[in-house]
Structure 1
Amino acid sequence: MFEARSRLGRIGLQLLVTLLVIPFLLPLVAMVQGSLVGAGFENYLAVLRVGSIGTFFLSSAIISAGVILLVYAVTMLTAFGFAKFRIRRKELYFWLLLACLTLPEVVLLAPLFATFVSTGLYDTYWAVILPLAALQIPFAVLLVRTFIEGIPDELFEAARVDGASSWRGFIHLVIPLTRPIAAAVLIFTLIGAWNNYLLPLVFLQDPAKQTITLLPSYFIGQFSHDQTKVLASAVITAIPVVVAYLCLQRLFERGLAAGAIK
């Protein structure tokens, strides 16, 4: 890691980091300020008085939890296989998996719609959980594979000498040692699942199953557009993700630094 040793170097580095952060902070500051225009915190109370807000949060929580569990299980097993098993043409399979990163979700809507209608999954949580998980897995595998490759092979060889199977090595070595990168995967997956707008809009028609990202639409109509309450809705929607990041910040930074660079 780079380190500024002199006082002048630290000041220059601090100024550089501050300048890089400002463009990302300005939209957030503008969003919070705009949500307080006019009635102030009454805008937030008006949003909280929407009758379906509890249902929105519950649906988003169910979808996010399902996506996180599915992504975590598939990612850890897949990354372990790619990193530590001798599999014929595994690099070809790995690059085919990474090629899925180039697929935008909008081009998948038509085939997914036809598939879910024919299988009876349309207007169920699974119609959102499965595609979201599939879109998150390639990047998560890329991060976790690099992290697992950094675990010494001698640990797994010692476990085999003691009679442990590959499955026990995965449970007792990989799972505990990958906590930092697992936190990074959790945060990225939570952001992608919680903030997704398009898939719930298309595949969830029952109002009782719609997610929190659809909350701002309650204040946008044909003859009205209450911008302050739309911004207040956006702030309320972002709070769970911000809290999750703050709780896992240290593990997230460690995992991202270790998983991004071999």
Structure 2
Amino acid sequence: MTRATRFTTAIVLLAAVALTIVPLISIFFASVQEPGTPVTGLAWPETPHWENFATAWSVGGFAKLFLSSGIVVIGVVPLGLILATLGGYALSRYRFRGSSVVVAVLLLGLTLPLESIVLPLYYGLRAAGLLDSYWALILPLIGVFMPFGIFWMRSHFDSLPTELTEAAEMDGAGAFTVFVRILLPTAKPALATLALLYFMWAWNQFLLALVLIQDPSRRTAPAGLGQFVTQYGKDIPLLSASTIIVVIPVVIVYAIFQRQLVRGFLQGAVR
């Protein structure tokens, strides 16, 4: 790699980091300004108003919102991982009639805009009596995330040598034993990355949470933030504080598991 290429790469990466970090810094600076005052520019106040976070937490009812988001995440991530792993394993190791159709449907699911399925989901869940329940968000999110999850796990299983399964089968191991004891332990980096992605996507989901759960007692954090905007949209410091509150769990989880995320992406890039 030439010096000019390295310099250009560094500039592009720094620009990408700036585009990501600067908006977050501006929101954080705005969140500690005096409540009710207009915010202009990127400036740290002489007297930071840390109480904005406590006010936003209590006024916005984020304790209940976080509980609802946690329930949705706990429902989406484990079930999504199990189904994606089984689906990826089946499409990787078995060739059956109609497998190409399944792959085509999954590809369609990857390209299908989320906005195009909101109305059918709404009426379908209403007919099933699931509206305003946590399942109204958990089940559609599992379905929306499933195409990516299956292709992700399929890519991992495709990268493993067939000699692993062939040797186990020659020793008398069945399909379930081969999957659980031979292939699944190798999938820890891929599963960790997929779990983190599922968590971030489920936590940040706004549109489906806003449409499918209108009961305030079951509203998730992003949907609650949307309601907060309609009530306190003119109070920029308070609104910024509530935004930081909603973002903090994702930042913490990413900071803890960033190595697993990078390892999973690098493993997929090598393949």
User: If the length of structure 1 is used for normalisation, what is the TM-score?
Assistant: 0.89
Q: Report the residue type matching 1:27 in the other structure.
A: P
* Corresponding residue number in structure 1 for 2:26: 30
What's 2:17 paired with?
A: 21
Within 2, Cα distance between the matches of 1:136 and 1:260?
20
Aligned partner of 1:180 among 184, 189, 192: 189
1:6-155 alignment to 2 at 5 Å? 13-38=9-34, 40-50=49-59, 52-155=61-164
Residue range with higher mean Cα deviation, 181-190 or 218-227: 218-227
> How many residues end up aligned between the 2 structures?
258
5 Å matches for 1:222-233?
225-233=234-242
Distance 1:220-1:242 versus aligned 2 partners, 3 A rule: closer
Query: For each residue in 1:64-107, what CA deviation from the matched residue of structure 2 results, as whole angstroms up to 9, or x when unmatched?
Result: 11111121011000100111112234233212211111222222
The CA deviation string for residues 180-214 of structure 1, in whole angstroms up to 9 with x for no partner, is: 11111112111111011111211212221111113
Task: Classify the secondary structure of the residue corresponding to 2:83.
Answer: helix
Counterpart in the other structure of 1:166: 175
How far 1:219 sits from its partner (Å)?
Answer: 4.0
Q: Which residue of 1 aligns with 2:252?
A: 243
Query: Deviations for 1:106-156, whole angstroms, at most 9, x for unmatched residues?
Result: 221221111111111111111101111111111122222111111111111
Write the distance in 2 (CA, Å) between the matches of 1:181 and 1:130.
Answer: 22
Give the percent of matched residue pairs that are identical in Structure 1 and Structure 2: 32
Q: Secondary structure at the match of 2:137?
A: helix
**Whole-Å Cα distance in 2 between the matches of residues 223 and 90 of structure 1?**
51
Moved more, 208-217 or 9-18: 9-18
Q: Which runs of 5+ in 1 are unaligned?
A: none
Could you list the structure 1 runs, at least 4 aligned residues long, displaced by more than 3 angstroms after superposition. 6-16, 217-224
When normalised by structure 2's length, the TM-score is 0.87
Deviation at 1:52, TM superposition (A): 2.6
CA distance in structure 1 between the aligned counterparts of 2:18 and 2:232, rounded to whole angstroms: 36
Q: Structure 1's 165 and 42: CA in aligned 2 closer, same or farther, altered over 3 A?
A: same
- CA deviation after TM superposition for structure 1 residue 216, in Å: 2.8
Compared CA separation, residues 89 and 208, structure 1 to 2 (3 A):
same
* Contact 1:144–1:259 (8 Å) recurs in 2: no
Q: CA deviation at 1:15?
A: 4.3
